[in-house]
Structure 1
């Protein structure tokens, strides 16, 4: 009797176990690949990271989820359900906002509650302006979800055709306007301009330079905000558990020395410890600038070349600590605005740490369907410029700085709002752009990849396919952009490209266009 040996599954290696790398591993394993996931740090999660504290692990990165359907779909790929692994708590209160004049405004999942809050905050004018703005952004979000975010390779020509078939979108897009200009025309109350202008910072930009179309980011929050019970790191831990159970090999503390390219294809990954991992498919789920700058070897320097010179997005200073709060009641998601919004963005655009920034306080133990503990966990975030430091081999000592003045300024601004903490946080748990630059190779500390400034900025990001036929890109530095749900979507685009290319290759070997350049 003749025995037929089944062919071995294809070997896929993924560099980077942030949310995009984890999502790629899920989808590739579901497609039958033998998957090895490499992570240079001692835990998975990438920018979804924690620091230890007496109150338990404290998030020091993203703090909430939007676009829940993206994560439901991800877990379903391996035949399981998101709610079987983490508890998500939908927030009735999306965010609480505070101004130096003592005014406050909460936005809610229930639009009627938001309207009531707006009427008390700014009268009927504020309500009318908000409803008109919301209608505009809802149109934009609905119109551009499929052809832009859900499309693996959006093209300007296709988007132009899409807009021309729906001419009502043109005034909604305000194509010749910045977000700041649109908000000035949309809201008579300068506080509301300041509030909705903050959404540009969600992708690392300034409302003074970001295109008006970024106003649609408001709809991602308006459609629902979820808190992960215990912290965002519970989501990445759950994905790791699912991957372990499905047979994915996750290698931590794995520092990639280079990618071995032979006959125009990636054939192996070499680690600094001497390990060599052969691959049939390779996904780079880190900042694509690492490839473009030759950080992983000279043979990939032609990949995503625009990232090598493109301006970078903003970064942040992040303070994570455990304490007992004093002062105004906090929601999970709180924004404290500076008196002069423009000065902050002037500083950022000039590459300076803002002298008087607005700041975000996440009260991590609130919004969790219960009373917070006596010792609560907090994360404070302010915008900061990316390092811009071309000395990418700099050590922590080279880039150290005295963070006491910054902490003193933030503490002073909090005191103006009546907020204090005991014990008072110190500088030991501050993460700076320099530290982010060391954690994420070739990123220069930018948290969102390339700058989102300019009308076509979203079309300048690298897409999944590259000029190396079996090398693919995923992560917040690629299309469709930064943020946890968007980086997760990038993994779907990458794996769909892999499977599509394999089908095409199995039928024939036609000339293909990848990453905007012909492979012929």
Structure 2
């Protein structure tokens, strides 16, 4: 029997993971990537002696990466190593409050009590609820397809359905958090987790309060070599399994005949395949690659609200800051105003929350001696035609003013080099529609359950993976989309 052929469009993390899983199943796999490098958002930048991870900077649930090596009969430690963080993140507030988010829950609860006066028992009760939401949703809604009858015929699914009221989907994250905590700083702290999937805590359902459990139960990690080592190690594994990567190549069309996928077309060349997997954002997949077949387009899904985007400044800093750690957050003084600007006004608040990742805290070669590589990011709206050049200039000054004030140093004078990534370049480099980082937002009660399926219901042999389809965006969920897809075939 001839070997079946699979073509994967896009070498993002989900595409690479899918390639590995299909190769293990015995498929001949070819990954076609428009860029000159793999990884999609999970890539890297080298700039005048400084190295930056270009996109995702937080590693949680590395077991989903390890699982791919085990599946292929390999020892994960031979390819990919990481260490658990004792402190997840450092937080800086405008009123001078400083919080260290310790990985240990008891230590973390004590830290919040010491710095804000919030009773430790409130924090522990909240984290227990976060764990409860995870236990209800994980095996059913994250690790399996919501679009297959078999999922709902299982006893654990039925049990989770009966427990659905406990996932708190009918009120917002902010309202739920305000019910748990007395201190506004602590409420803001936990509201921030909505940004982990590009959503608004004042609109997103409190179900998303599951996210703190991922950090404070499973932990946060730093991979040796930085985040891009995830991409590099998985590509190495895929190649060992016989996967072929074809770079600098753009797919022009997914070929469908009588509602059966036949392959793809690349620069006029027909490439035949038994199955095709799109790791592209769902919007350009349909609008660009399946434009000949408008009857196949799920317009209701394609018209859903997009997630937020990001504006990132990559700064080489000519000084080391011992008060900063790998992950650092500088909060806005008015969180609600910041989100109103992103979601209602489609612009950027003058006092945005600033995230700084400094991988040179762990990988000293990522910056020259005595210097640091600052990945400086704020959440911004998706691209709707805003004057980004003007916004980028204004935001840069606002960020420098904010950081200089809190750190007591003229940060602008310490910048040795700079590169910028905005929603326009995110879209052009990663095919993320409107530059949205996580596909659709989760700003409604059931948005998480309305994502596009991992298998086409209209075209036999057509599959989907990545952050714009079930179960969602972020490294762990992208890896799970590959797992669900593989188990669906």
TM-score, scaled to structure 1 = 0.87
Give, in angstroms, the shift of residue 370 of structure 1. Answer: 11
Give, in angstroms, the shift of residue 154 of structure 1. Answer: 5.8
Q: Quote the residue 1:4 is aligned against.
A: none
1:256 partner SS: coil
Q: Quote the residue 1:509 is aligned against.
A: none
Give, in angstroms, the shift of residue 294 of structure 1. Answer: 3.9
- 1:374-429 per-residue CA deviation (whole Å, 9 max, x = no partner) reads 22222111000000359xxxxxxx97556221111110010121255475448951
Give, in angstroms, the shift of residue 260 of structure 1. Answer: 1.4
**Counterpart selection for 1:416 from 388, 405, 409:** 405
Instruction: Tell me whether 1:380 sits opposite 2:365 in the alignment.
Output: no
**Counterpart selection for 1:38 from 32, 35, 47:** 32
Q: Quote the residue 1:216 is aligned against.
A: 210
Which runs of structure 2 are paired with 1:68-87 in the superposition (5 Å)? 68-87=62-81
TM-aligned CA distance change 1:235 to 1:164, over 3 Å: closer
Q: Which is worse superposed, 81-90 or 191-200?
A: 81-90
Q: Quote the residue 1:179 is aligned against.
A: 173
What is the Cα-based RMSD across aligned positions, in Å? 2.5
TM-aligned CA distance change 1:163 to 1:9, over 3 Å: closer
Which runs of structure 2 are paired with 1:219-238 in the superposition (5 Å)? 219-222=213-216, 223-238=218-233
Q: Quote the residue 1:393 is aligned against.
A: none
Q: Quote the residue 1:252 is aligned against.
A: 247
Q: Quote the residue 1:359 is aligned against.
A: 354
Instruction: Tell me whether 1:162 sits opposite 2:156 in the alignment.
Output: no
Give, in angstroms, the shift of residue 44 of structure 1. Answer: 0.2
1:217 partner SS: helix
Say if 1:140 and 1:213, in contact at 8 Å, map to a contact too.
Answer: yes
**Counterpart selection for 1:460 from 450, 462, 485:** 450
Q: Quote the residue 1:92 is aligned against.
A: 86
Give, in angstroms, the shift of residue 307 of structure 1. Answer: 3.3
Instruction: Tell me whether 1:194 sits opposite 2:183 in the alignment.
Output: no
TM-aligned CA distance change 1:495 to 1:381, over 3 Å: same
Give, in angstroms, the shift of residue 230 of structure 1. Answer: 1.9
Mapped to 2, the partners of 1:301 and 1:164 lie a distance apart of 33
- 1:202-244 per-residue CA deviation (whole Å, 9 max, x = no partner) reads 0000101100110011111112111112211111011111122
Give, in angstroms, the shift of residue 338 of structure 1. Answer: 1.1
- 1:310-336 per-residue CA deviation (whole Å, 9 max, x = no partner) reads 110000101112223465611111111
Q: Quote the residue 2:393 is aligned against.
A: 404
Mapped to 2, the partners of 1:292 and 1:165 lie a distance apart of 36
Q: Quote the residue 1:395 is aligned against.
A: none
Mapped to 2, the partners of 1:401 and 1:89 lie a distance apart of 40
TM-aligned CA distance change 1:55 to 1:426, over 3 Å: closer
Mapped to 1, the partners of 2:244 and 2:157 lie a distance apart of 43
Mapped to 2, the partners of 1:427 and 1:446 lie a distance apart of 26
Give, in angstroms, the shift of residue 133 of structure 1. Answer: 0.6
TM-aligned CA distance change 1:138 to 1:130, over 3 Å: same
**Counterpart selection for 1:332 from 326, 331, 347:** 326
Q: Quote the residue 2:461 is aligned against.
A: 470
2:89 partner SS: strand
Q: Quote the residue 2:476 is aligned against.
A: 485
Give, in angstroms, the shift of residue 56 of structure 1. Answer: 4.0
Mapped to 1, the partners of 2:167 and 2:379 lie a distance apart of 26
**Number of residue equivalences:** 480
Say if 2:14 and 2:478, in contact at 8 Å, map to a contact too.
Answer: yes
TM-score, scaled to structure 2 = 0.92
The structure having more radius of gyration, on CA atoms, is 1
TM-aligned CA distance change 1:155 to 1:203, over 3 Å: farther
Say if 1:359 and 1:381, in contact at 8 Å, map to a contact too.
Answer: yes
TM-aligned CA distance change 1:26 to 1:126, over 3 Å: same
- 1:157-206 per-residue CA deviation (whole Å, 9 max, x = no partner) reads 9599535644xx63x43332100100111110000110110100000001
Q: Quote the residue 1:435 is aligned against.
A: 425
Give, in angstroms, the shift of residue 355 of structure 1. Answer: 2.1
**Counterpart selection for 2:44 from 50, 53, 59:** 50
TM-aligned CA distance change 1:109 to 1:402, over 3 Å: closer
Give, in angstroms, the shift of residue 368 of structure 1. Answer: 5.3
Q: Which is worse superposed, 339-348 or 361-370?
A: 361-370
Say if 2:136 and 2:167, in contact at 8 Å, map to a contact too.
Answer: no
Say if 1:291 and 1:304, in contact at 8 Å, map to a contact too.
Answer: no
